[in-house]
């Protein structure tokens, strides 16, 4: 009889305690999610672009308190090395993989395996055209092409006359940028002198641009998709004394390009924001793991840098990555 | 109230039935009070401890951020010292003076000397990126030899140059920036610049520039431990971010800091609550204009909030359990006498007036128990008295009954005597009259109820004699009481009712008549009388009816069988009395059992 009477108050007490606990519980954040693996195009410590991606990813991992593993081929951007890293990463069963694919073909099997394993897949930098993924975190390369093309002033009375200098037609990024350029500088709005493949030779770029200036003296712009293309073209334009009349436009920064900008030997650089890319890549992966809604494309706007604005504080950070 | 209670669902009403008892309601009240009290104190003290933890962590943060400020300050100080060293260096002064007498060779020597001075300074200070002097006379020297300035950079347009030139000898500290003054060299630095003056005229003659590697500040800031996610950032006098670990996110507006609050706030720390959680901002001023801001997530500073909460809950639960158990026993103690009294009362309710409540305490309940005992005692006494009165009344009644001679009998007997007198049967008249006289004598004999068996035998013999004379051949009788029993006592006129019954109900209706025999025997401590007839007998039901109290017909003419039985029981106890065995047309035996009394 006595024990029966004791149970009800105890039950009451238990429920009150439970409610109290629940009330206090809500303040604590959810426990850390599963591991995220980020596979870069290269883990070369001299590659400031990828090292900045690295920094951004680490900052996000710290901020979000998620375990992060950063991988990348040592040295050059080797697709086979990257494939092996990807395979090993899938075997370690992470919650998400953030991948900056060097080449889409060749990793089909691995991507499919990761999809089947239920690993969230976030693509950085270079889009996947055929294969399936969860989210793509990058600058919009077509938009970059448009940004570059807009610097040439399409649609004016004097139509721009321009040439495209590329090295590797098979690069998805290059072809998307080209697409953007051609979209803005469509026939009718500008004269396209053609796309010239110069490989990885600065010399080839120099001679190509030099002959272009001779063949088409009214040329107003050169858009080069590689840094060797830029340096070769800048040298050619300086030699023929057209540095200021021909706008030289390039993508991504390197010390030679920065110096060309300083000297005014090139007009515009379209630069991406690798820190934000690394940060948002990891953040998106984390959101996916936590089953939050994530858009298929996370755009990181690229910045248009000219001689005039290159030393503004926010642009300094983009041009001169401070890697830590 | 009552109707409200009735509206409760049945199961709930049943569940709360115990609350209706005093024990239940006191327990319930205690539990609710204790629960409330402990709950409230726990919450308050938890919050207080949490506040204390937060206050502690704010103080700790303040110290950490101050430490960061001091570290950066010491670097700035060393740069300042270097710039002062340059300021006072005669070589430098001479080198940048507009003294026209210095030859080209001499300039080269000065350059060499100054450069090696700078190099030795740099050798000592690994954190210095570069030291340079720019004379207004166009000469410049640095720790590097030769120094090729970046041709695309206008010296006079550089912020550090302009600020120093305008500061009249005071030093200027720049925000972190890329130092591009030397060709091909792009380093993230913090610059300290100062105008150099001529010792005579106090006119400005050049600018000294000391570049501190940004790595230093970065390392200091990154080395700070403010939880796992905490960080340090720096703002300058104007509220521009000087340094932030995620500066690019700030530029991209992916992240914001409450800069206006940092700049305006007079307090050294404040709390910001946004979607990423509660963050504590600790702001520290430095004497070179920068504000060092430490940011920590509150839930990380409280080293283990869950552990704290769990221990609080544990202690609260333990305290609750202990106090609830104590309250239960207390309630039990208080209500125990009441329940005991209740049990006693229930016994009284069932008719047991002999029980008494045990008075243990001198409190209200004790008083209650005493009063109850008194009441029960009185009730019992009253009951006893009533029983006694009843008994006395009954006895008197019975005595009255037994002392009377049935008027019919008397009339019949007297009629017989008259009839015999007319027949001139003198002898028989004498016999009958004397028997009647004996009968009367024994019935009015004495007041004391018990008489010797001998007298009872005489009485029953007289009676039977009269009856025998009346019924003649119809009736035979036999009395066989052993002599040794004569001395024992028996109630008066014990057997007459049975004999009377035997004659009137057993034998009278038999055409051939019957025999009534009276015997007695000693059985251990009892004396048994048997009144046997061979009459028509009776059924079990008739016996039952005869024995039952309802048969106690107070017609004042017959002394009922049950009356006799009751009388025996009243006199000797319930162990004694009469039993009847009978069989239809065989006869009846009435056995009377009384104790052996002398």
- The strand ranges marked E within B172-203 are 172-173, 177-179, 187-197
The answer to whether B208 and B96 are in contact (CB under 8 A) is no
ipTM of this predicted structure: 0.79
pLDDT on residue A86: 92
Of B46, B215, B299, which has the smallest distance from its Cβ to A29's Cβ? B299
Of A13, A276, A320, which has the smallest distance from its Cβ to B178's Cβ? A320
What CATH code is carried by the domain that includes residue A72?
3.40.50.2300
pLDDT on residue B530: 93
> Structure pTM?
0.64
Whole-angstrom distance, CA of residue B500 vs CA of residue B493: 11
Averaged over A175-180, what is the pLDDT? 90
Averaged over A215-237, what is the pLDDT? 90
Q: Which residues of A touch B254 (CB under 8 A)?
A: 276, 279-280
**β-pair type (B241-243, B177-179):** unpaired
> In sequence order, which ranges of B495-588 are alpha helices (DSSP H)?
496-501, 540-547, 561-572
pLDDT on residue B448: 59
Residue length of chain B: 598
Whole-angstrom distance, CA of residue A213 vs CA of residue A177: 23
> Chains A, B: CB contacts under 8 A, how many?
113
Are A104 and A201 within one domain?
no
B266 C-beta neighbours (distance < 10 Å), count: 5
Share of chain A above pLDDT 70, in %: 88
Are A147 and A124 within one domain?
no
**β-pair type (A247-251, A221-224):** parallel
The answer to whether B132 and B181 are in contact (CB under 8 A) is yes
Instruction: Choose the weakest-confidence range: A8-12, A78-82, A101-105, B522-526.
Output: A8-12
Are A293 and A187 within one domain?
no
Kindly state the tokens that stand for B560.
Answer: 């009922």
Confidence of residue A28 (pLDDT cuts 50, 70, 90): very low
Hey, is B253 helix, strand or coil? coil
pLDDT on residue B549: 57
Q: A155-167: per-residue pLDDT in tens?
A: 667 888 899 998 8
> In sequence order, which ranges of B304-363 are alpha helices (DSSP H)?
305-349
Are A109 and A194 within one domain?
no
Of A9, A17, A317, which has the smallest distance from its Cβ to B313's Cβ? A17
Handedness of CA A239, A243, A249, A252 (dihedral sign): positive
Q: Helix, strand, coil proportions of chain A in percent (round to 5)?
A: 45, 15, 40
Question: CB under 8 Å to A9, separation ≥6 — which residues?
Answer: B27, B28, B31, B35, B324
Are A108 and A168 within one domain?
no
Output phi, psi for B128, to 5 deg: -85, 130
A322 in a structural domain: no
A235 in a structural domain: yes
pLDDT on residue B14: 57
Are A104 and A212 within one domain?
no
Whole-angstrom distance, CA of residue B421 vs CA of residue B408: 20
Of A2, A9, A29, which has the smallest distance from its Cβ to B277's Cβ? A29
Question: CB under 8 Å to B301, separation ≥6 — which residues?
Answer: B53, B54, B57, B60, B61, B226, B227, B230, B280
Are A114 and A159 within one domain?
no
pLDDT on residue A317: 83
Peptide bond into B578 cis (omega under 30): no
A152 in a structural domain: yes
Q: Which residues of A touch B178 (CB under 8 A)?
A: 311, 316, 319-320
Whether A20 has a pLDDT exceeding 80, the answer reads no
Output phi, psi for B81, to 5 deg: -60, -40
**From the CA of A254, how many Å to the nearest CA of chain B?**
11
Whether A318 has a pLDDT exceeding 50, the answer reads yes
Are A221 and A191 within one domain?
yes
**Nearest in space to B460 (alpha carbons), one of B443, B482, B473, B485:** B443
Are A262 and A206 within one domain?
yes
A309 in a structural domain: no
Whether A137 has a pLDDT exceeding 90, the answer reads yes
Are A6 and A135 within one domain?
yes
Question: CB distance from A12 to chain B under 8 Å?
Answer: yes
- pLDDT means per 10 residues, chain B with 598 residues, are 49 59 78 84 84 80 87 88 86 78 77 88 87 86 81 85 86 87 86 84 84 86 81 86 84 83 79 81 85 84 71 82 82 82 87 80 82 89 89 76 71 87 88 86 67 86 87 87 88 83 83 88 90 86 74 51 80 86 88 88
Whether A142 has a pLDDT exceeding 90, the answer reads yes
**From the CA of A314, how many Å to the nearest CA of chain B?**
6
A310 in a structural domain: no
Hey, is B529 helix, strand or coil? strand
Q: Inter-chain contact B177–A311, Cβ cutoff 8 Å?
A: yes
A243 in a structural domain: yes
The answer to whether B474 and B439 are in contact (CB under 8 A) is no
**Nearest in space to B155 (alpha carbons), one of B138, B167, B131, B175:** B138
Report the b/e string of B202-225 with b at 16+ CB within 10 A.
eebbbbbbbbbbbbbbbebbeebe
Kindly state the tokens that stand for A237.
Answer: 């334009």
Are A172 and A232 within one domain?
yes
Question: CB distance from A109 to chain B under 8 Å?
Answer: no
Question: CB under 8 Å to A146, separation ≥6 — which residues?
Answer: A180, A181, A183, A184
Instruction: Choose the weakest-confidence range: A178-187, A202-211, B536-545.
Output: B536-545
Q: B490: which strand partners?
A: B451
Which contacts of B198-204 are long-range, i.e. CB under 8 A and separated by 24 or more positions?
B198/B93, B198/B97, B199/B93, B204/B136, B204/B165, B204/B168, B204/B169
Disruptive mutation site among A10, A15, A27 for chain B (greatest number of B CBs within 10 Å): A27
Q: B235: which strand partners?
A: B241, B291
Whole-angstrom distance, CA of residue B506 vs CA of residue A222: 155
Structural domain of A77: 2-139+273-300
Measured CA distances, B245 to A300, B64, B88 (Å): 19, 17, 37
A172 in a structural domain: yes
A317 in a structural domain: no
Are A213 and A279 within one domain?
no
Number of domains in chain A: 2
């Amino acid at each position: 009889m006595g024990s029966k009477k004791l149970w009800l108050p105890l039950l009451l007490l238990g429920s009150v305690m439970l409610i109290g606990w629940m009330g206090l519980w809500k303040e604590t954040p959810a426990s850390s999610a599963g591991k995220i693996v980020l596979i870069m195009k290269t883990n070369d410590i001299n590659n400031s672009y990828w090292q900045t991606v690295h920094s951004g990813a680490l900052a996000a991992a710290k901020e979000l308190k998620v375990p992060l593993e950063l991988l990348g081929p040592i040295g050059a951007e080797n697709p086979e090395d990257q494939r092996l890293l990807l395979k090993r990463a899938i075997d370690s069963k992470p919650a998400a993989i953030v991948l900056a694919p060097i080449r889409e073909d060749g990793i089909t099997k691995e991507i499919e395996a990761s999809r089947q394993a239920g690993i969230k897949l976030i693509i950085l930098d270079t889009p996947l055209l055929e294969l399936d993924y969860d989210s793509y975190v990058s600058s919009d390369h077509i938009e970059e092409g448009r940004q570059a093309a807009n610097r040439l002033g399409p649609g004016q009375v004097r139509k721009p006359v321009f040439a495209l200098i590329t090295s590797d037609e098979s690069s998805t990024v290059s072809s998307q940028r080209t697409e953007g350029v051609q979209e803005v500088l469509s026939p009718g709005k500008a004269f396209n002198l053609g796309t010239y493949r110069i490989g990885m030779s600065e010399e080839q770029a120099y001679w190509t641009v030099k002959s272009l200036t001779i063949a088409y003296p009214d040329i107003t712009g050169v858009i080069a998709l590689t840094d060797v293309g830029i340096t070769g073209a800048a040298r050619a334009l300086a030699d023929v004394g057209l540095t200021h009349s021909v706008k030289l436009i390039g993508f991504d920064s390197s010390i030679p390009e920065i110096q060309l900008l300083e000297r005014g030997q090139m007009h515009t650089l379209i630069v991406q924001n690798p820190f934000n890319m690394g940060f948002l890549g990891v953040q998106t992966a984390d959101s996916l793991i936590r089953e939050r809604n994530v858009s298929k494309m996370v755009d990181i706007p690229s910045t248009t840098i000219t001689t005039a604005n290159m030393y503004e504080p926010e642009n300094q950070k983009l041009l001169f990555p401070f890697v830590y | 109230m009552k109707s409200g209670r009735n509206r409760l669902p049945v199961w709930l009403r049943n569940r709360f039935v115990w609350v209706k008892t005093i024990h239940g309601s006191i327990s319930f009240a205690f539990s609710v009070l204790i629960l409330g009290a402990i709950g409230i104190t726990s919450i308050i003290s938890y919050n207080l401890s949490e506040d204390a933890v937060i206050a502690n962590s704010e103080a700790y943060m303040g110290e950490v951020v101050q430490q960061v400020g001091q570290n950066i300050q010491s670097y700035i100080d060393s740069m300042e010292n270097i710039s002062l060293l340059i300021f006072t260096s005669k070589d430098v002064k001479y080198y940048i003076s507009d003294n026209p007498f210095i030859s080209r060779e001499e300039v080269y020597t000065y350059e060499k000397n100054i450069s090696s001075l700078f190099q030795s300074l740099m050798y000592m200070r690994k954190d210095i990126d570069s030291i340079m002097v720019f004379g207004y006379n166009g000469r410049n020297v640095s720790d590097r030899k030769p120094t090729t300035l970046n041709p695309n950079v206008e010296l006079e347009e550089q912020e550090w140059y302009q600020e120093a030139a305008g500061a009249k000898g005071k030093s200027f500290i720049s925000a972190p920036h890329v130092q591009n003054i030397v060709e091909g060299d792009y380093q993230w630095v913090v610059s300290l610049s100062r105008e150099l003056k001529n010792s005579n005229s106090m006119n400005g003659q050049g600018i000294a520039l000391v570049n501190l590697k940004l790595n230093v500040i970065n390392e200091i800031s990154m080395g700070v431990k403010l939880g796992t996610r905490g960080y340090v950032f720096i703002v300058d006098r104007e509220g521009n971010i000087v340094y932030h670990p995620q500066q690019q996110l700030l530029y991209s507006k992916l992240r914001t800091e409450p800069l206006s609050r940092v700049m305006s706030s007079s307090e050294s720390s404040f709390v910001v609550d946004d979607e990423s959680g509660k963050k504590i901002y600790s702001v520290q001023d430095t004497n070179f204009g920068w504000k060092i801001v430490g940011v920590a997530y509150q839930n990380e500073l409280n080293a283990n909030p869950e552990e704290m909460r769990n221990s609080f809950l544990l202690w609260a639960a333990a305290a609750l359990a202990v106090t609830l158990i104590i309250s239960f026993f207390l309630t039990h103690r208080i209500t125990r006498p009441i329940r005991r009294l209740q049990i006693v009362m229930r016994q009284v309710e069932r008719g047991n007036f002999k029980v008494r409540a045990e008075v243990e305490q001198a409190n209200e309940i004790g008083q209650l128990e005493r009063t109850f005992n008194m009441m029960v005692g009185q009730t019992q006494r009253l009951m006893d008295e009533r029983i006694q009165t009843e008994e006395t009344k009954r006895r008197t009644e019975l005595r009255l009954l037994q002392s009377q001679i049935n008027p019919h009998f008397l009339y019949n007997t007297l009629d017989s005597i008259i009839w015999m007198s007319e027949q001139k049967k003198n002898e028989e008249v004498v016999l009958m009259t004397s028997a009647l006289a004996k009968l009367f004598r024994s019935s009015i004999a004495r007041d004391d109820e018990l008489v010797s068996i001998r007298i009872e035998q005489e009485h029953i013999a007289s009676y039977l004699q009269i009856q025998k004379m009346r019924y003649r051949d119809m009736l035979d009788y036999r009395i066989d009481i052993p002599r040794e029993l004569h001395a024992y006592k028996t109630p008066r006129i014990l057997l007459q009712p049975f004999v009377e019954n035997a004659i009137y109900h057993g034998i009278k209706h038999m055409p051939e008549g019957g025999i009534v025999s009276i015997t007695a025997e000693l059985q251990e401590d009892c004396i048994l009388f048997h009144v046997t007839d061979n009459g028509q007998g009776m059924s079990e039901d008739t016996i039952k009816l005869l024995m039952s109290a309802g048969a106690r017909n107070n017609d004042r003419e017959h002394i009922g069988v049950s009356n006799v039985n009751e009388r025996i029981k009243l006199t000797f106890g319930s162990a004694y009395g009469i039993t009847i065995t009978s069989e239809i047309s065989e006869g009846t035996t009435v056995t009377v059992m009384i104790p052996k009394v002398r």
